Structure 1
Amino acid sequence: MMPSAILESALYVTDLDAAEAFYTDIIGLSLLTKVEGRHLFFRCGAGVLLLFNAEATRVPPAPDARLKVPPHGTVGEGHLCFAATADELVGWKSHLDAKKIAIESEFEWPQGGGSIYIRDPSGNSIEFAEPRIWGL
């Protein structure tokens, strides 16, 4: 057995309001669901991006909870990479510049394909890269 795709990815944020504004207004994702003080879930292509308040996800579910999701979370900056074609990377650079979002790093990978990196309001490293960096 082998998974066919990643269904969801999670990042942990320190300010859910700032994260919601960033991922909707800057990144352009559609909010699926929100629980005040706990999480934001966004649609991204065929998958879902989960943004959690790490402190809230460390709390075990109540014994009578309908959804018994085990505690999870992390501390510190994470990383997420969005797929982008070479033409889309050019568009992202222009869009990010217009939104006053600094590009932290930009380069071509030795195996081919480019990447740009920015930071979200919680310090997470957000990358846009051509899928060919992974031979896709």
Structure 2
Amino acid sequence: MKRPSPFNGMRHIALVVEKFEECEAFYTDIMGMDVLRRANENLVYLTCGNDNLSLGRAKTQRICSPTSVDHFGFIVNSKKELQEWYEFMKARGVTLLDEPHDHSDGARSFHCKDPEGHVIQPLYHPVVSHQTFI
């Protein structure tokens, strides 16, 4: 069987969080995401415009993948924007894990944590950063 046409990228991630309100505030107030849709008091969908982050309130028992995620990234358009994000997050008291640094492939990034402890990588990448999506 022939493989179908390639995927058009990965632009959805769903997190189950204990600190639901704090995480929603972090992703809207700090990361600048908009509420796309509030399904109910336990589930909200956020977006930067070309993606979708789902936050689900953890119940007494989590139903999720048994594997862990090391980190996930948010793409910026330039190294200058990456530095501005670093300085903004530092001023807002976000937990920063490192400073902006260059990668061998021409990318540049740093790492921070959301209120639940998920590691986020704001990232400039010379190939991915300049792609536009409908």
Above 0.5 in TM-score? yes
Partner residue of 1:83 out of 75, 80, 88: 75
Return the letter of the residue paired with 2:44. Answer: L
- Which ranges of structure 2 fall in alignment gaps of 5 or more residues? 129-134
- Number of residues paired by the alignment? 120
Aligned to 1:112: 106
Shift in alpha-carbon separation, 1:100–1:75, aligned structure 2, 3 A: farther
Q: 1:23 aligns with which of 21, 24, 27?
A: 27
Cα distance in 1 for residues equivalent to 2:60 and 2:33: 23
2:132 corresponding residue in structure 1: none
Residues 72-99 of structure 1 show CA distances to partners (whole Å, capped at 9, x for unaligned) of 5246864220001201111101111221
2:87 maps to what in 1?
94
Q: CA–CA distance in 2 between the matches of 1:23 and 1:44?
A: 10
User: What does residue range 1-136 of structure 1 map to in structure 2 within 5 Å?
Assistant: 1=4, 2-34=6-38, 35-36=40-41, 38-55=42-59, 73-74=64-65, 78=69, 79-84=71-76, 85-106=78-99, 107-132=101-126, 135-136=127-128
Cα displacement string for residues 52-77 of structure 1 (whole angstroms, at most 9, x for unaligned residues): 2344896xxxxxxxxxxxxx524686
In 1: Cα distance, 2:66 partner to 2:51 partner: 24
Q: What amino acid is aligned across from residue 97 of structure 1 in structure 2?
A: K
User: Structure 1's 8 and 119: CA in aligned 2 closer, same or farther, altered over 3 A?
Assistant: same
Show structure 1 runs of 5+ residues with no match.
59-71
Task: Give the TM-score normalised by the residue count of structure 1.
Answer: 0.75
Q: What's the TM-score once normalised by structure 2's chain length?
A: 0.76
The 1:104–1:7 alpha-carbon spacing in structure 2 relative to 1, beyond 3 Å, is closer
* Distance in 2 (alpha carbons) for counterparts of 1:87 and 1:52: 33
**Percent of aligned pairs with the same amino acid:** 27
* Secondary structure of the corresponding residue to residue 105 of structure 2: coil
